[in-house]
Structures are given as C-alpha cells and as structure tokens.
Amino acid sequence: MRMMQRMLHDDVCDALLVTHLPHVRYLSGFTGSSGWLLLRKRSAVLLTDPRYREQAAREVRHARIHIVSGTTMTTALGHGLLRTVDRLGVEAAHLDYVTFDNLRTSLRPVRLVPMIDAVEDLRARKFPDEIAAVRRAVRISERVWHEILPLLQPGVREFEIAAEITYRQRLHGAEGDAFPPIVLFGTRTSLIHGQPSAARLRNGQPVLMDFGCRVNGYASDLTRTVFLGKASRRLREIYIAVLEAQALGRDAIRAGLPAADLDRLVRRHIEQQGFGPYFEHGLGHGLGLEVHERPSLSWRNTQPLEEGAVVTIEPGVYVPGTGGVRIEDDVLVTSDGAVTLSRLPRELMEL
C-alpha cells in the first residue's frame, strides 16, 4: 500500500479510488465481494457494506474501515471522505460507465481522472510471498494431476474427472478452483475453452486437462494432454510440435525480452511444422490474484518482460475433427532466464 501511495503524484491526482476487487485485496488484504479502497497520500479508507463488518475488521491492514449502510458507496464517498481532494483518480478500466457517471455527477466539484494500469503495473512484479503462494498452488494442482491419471479409464465421463479435480484440490488445501477445470476427451480437445460434458472416455483418445487452484488468493494454471492407449500418428505429430514449441518458449524467456518476440519465436516453430493456422490464442498470460493478468504474452504486447513476473507458457494446436494438444507451465521470469514453477512430466504419455 505504501508503494502505491508514493505513486500518487500531486500533478495527476490527490487520491485514487481503487474499485477492482483483486486490487482492493492486493493493497488492503480485504477479500470480500464488495469493497472500494480510497487511497490518499497518508491515509486509506476501505468502504464496504454491513455484510462484511466482521470480516473487514479481521482482514484489512493499513486502512480505516468505513461501513456503508442505507446508502450507496458513491454517496458515502461524497459525505466527508474527499475533503481537500480536487482530483480523484479512478480505475477507468474497472468502473462501469454508469458508476463513473454517477461519481462524476455526485462528487462535484471533485474532478475524476481516469487512470489506466496504475495498480496493474505494480502487481506485475511479484513479491516473494506472492511467488510462494503461486508455488504452493502449483504443488497442489500437480499432486491432484498425479492422482487423476489412474482414474482415466474407459467409460469415465469428462464431468466426473472435473469433479474429482475440484474436490481433491480443495481437500489438499486449496481455497478452491482458480477457474472451472477444463476436461476434454477425444475430438472435443480441439475446443480451446470447452467445458466438461457427459462424454465418456474411449481407448485411443486424447485427454486434455487444464486446471488450477488458489492459495491465499494466488492461482496456479496447468495443462497437460495425455492419451488413453496409443495416440494416432496425426496427434503424435501435433504433440511433438507443441512440446518442442513449449520448450523453446521456456528456454527463451527472460527479463527484457519483448513479450511479442517470445510469442513469435514459439509461433514460428508451430508454423514450420505446418500447424500455424491451428494455434489461434496467445502464448500465455500473467498469473497471480487473477488468472489472466499482466503481462500478456501476446503478439500485441511489445513491452519487455519484467523480472519477477509470473506467467504461463501454453502453446496449443487444435485441429477440428482431429483434436487438440496444449502444454502449459507456470514460470517466474528472472534477469537471466526463468524458473519453471511446475514440474509435471511433459513427454508424450500413453496410459
């Protein structure tokens, strides 16, 4: 929080209204589903509603708690919390237009200053305790992955495996899933974001599992693709192309490298193997309190990667009617390379 407060430059705004919940949590510790954090240079106030009275008192650090009852947070802000504030920074990417407009009207003469990426940029570089939390989440997901392999038997359904993943992650100490597990069999593996169905596993089919969990709010996000019995020649070729591309990405990543360059390097390998049109998503994304956060490893992000970022590396090839393969690891970017946080086997597995 102190670091954020130091960033409140007098020439831009006198205070910042943090409305994006992962940012509220990051800066104050508050985990509730309704809360705004008003940051001033030498003080901070968390606004929430009476449902979170007890929880806020337990969780919030370095901020006064203001329970808003019988009125809206916008009105509460206007009633005395903004004395001496002329320009209020707002998270313009995390405030809907109606709320923005209400704030603008009700807080007059305070002027709203749309701020972009103020907290995002701070969050991209992880502190050791954040990295440790991601690592613990990765360990839990890996343990579950190993437990799931023997359950991949002919006849089992996609949603049954998904239910096992969710259940086991939680029992092994996760707060919950980082996102609903993706479990796909057979040709359904080409659905990049498909949801588990009642489809049953048959011999010779690929199994794509993409899942993660949360520890202290921090997410893991891992994908492996395995085969029940022998993989077809075509899927083997796809697997090897993805495996090689993913290794290229993990080898090349380092602080200072533009994200788009890394994406291009990996993508070129997949193109050279003839699968270019079938890799239609970005190479990866930042991972932390959100499953998709800065930095994006996309062809659109020309910014150099920062030391301390935690990102996924997850190339994939998806051929409709044939199937898809994705291999995803979580890595920590360092000055001279990266530490791969996940340790699941990557070689082609035929169960």
Residues whose CB is less than 8 angstroms from the CB of residue 208 and which lie 6 or more positions away in sequence, other chains included:
182, 183, 184, 189, 223, 224, 225, 324, 325, 326
* 105 touches a copy of itself by CB under 8 A: no
Angstrom distance (rounded) from CA 188 to CA 181? 14
Q: For a copy of itself, which is the closer residue by CB, 65 or 163?
A: 163
* 69 touches a copy of itself by CB under 8 A: yes
CB 18, min distance to a copy of itself, A: 14
What region does 140 belong to: left with phi over 0, alpha with psi -120 to 50, or beta? Answer: alpha
Provide the 3-class DSSP secondary structure of residue 292. coil
Interface of this chain with a copy of itself, residues 21 to 60, rule: CB under 8 A: 31-33, 49-55
* 97 touches a copy of itself by CB under 8 A: yes
Q: For a copy of itself, which is the closer residue by CB, 126 or 136?
A: 136
∠ CA(283), CA(297), CA(125), 5° rounding? 135
Q: For a copy of itself, which is the closer residue by CB, 71 or 203?
A: 71
Q: For a copy of itself, which is the closer residue by CB, 56 or 333?
A: 56
Q: Which of 12, 43, 101, 274 binds a copy of itself (CB under 8 A)?
A: 101
Interface of this chain with a copy of itself, residues 187 to 226, rule: CB under 8 A: 190-195
CB 170, min distance to a copy of itself, A: 4
Angstrom distance (rounded) from CA 13 to CA 86? 8
Burial 263-288 (b: 16+ CB within 10 A, else e): bebbbebbeebebeebbeebbbbbbb
Q: For a copy of itself, which is the closer residue by CB, 92 or 349?
A: 92
Q: Cα 173 to chain center, whole Å? A: 19
DSSP 74: H
Contact 19, 91 (CB under 8 A): yes
For CA atoms 291, 297, 299, 300, the dihedral sign is: positive
Q: Which stretch binds a copy of itself (CB under 8 A): 99-107, 118-126, 137-145, 235-243?
A: 99-107
Q: For a copy of itself, which is the closer residue by CB, 139 or 168?
A: 168
Contact 113, 87 (CB under 8 A): yes
CB 120, min distance to a copy of itself, A: 12
Interface of this chain with a copy of itself, residues 139 to 168, rule: CB under 8 A: 159-160, 162-164, 166-167
Q: Which of 76, 85, 90, 228 binds a copy of itself (CB under 8 A)?
A: 90
ω before 114 within 30° of 0 (cis)? Answer: no
User: Phi and psi at residue 94, in whole multiples of 5°?
Assistant: -130, 35
Return the closest-CA partner of residue 153 out of 208, 200, 115: 200
CB 95, min distance to a copy of itself, A: 5
Q: For a copy of itself, which is the closer residue by CB, 183 or 341?
A: 183
Q: Which of 3, 11, 80, 96 binds a copy of itself (CB under 8 A)?
A: 96
Residues that bind a copy of itself (CB under 8 A): 31-33, 49-55, 69, 90, 92-101, 114, 116, 159-160, 162-164, 166-167, 170-171, 175-176, 180, 190-195, 280-281, 320
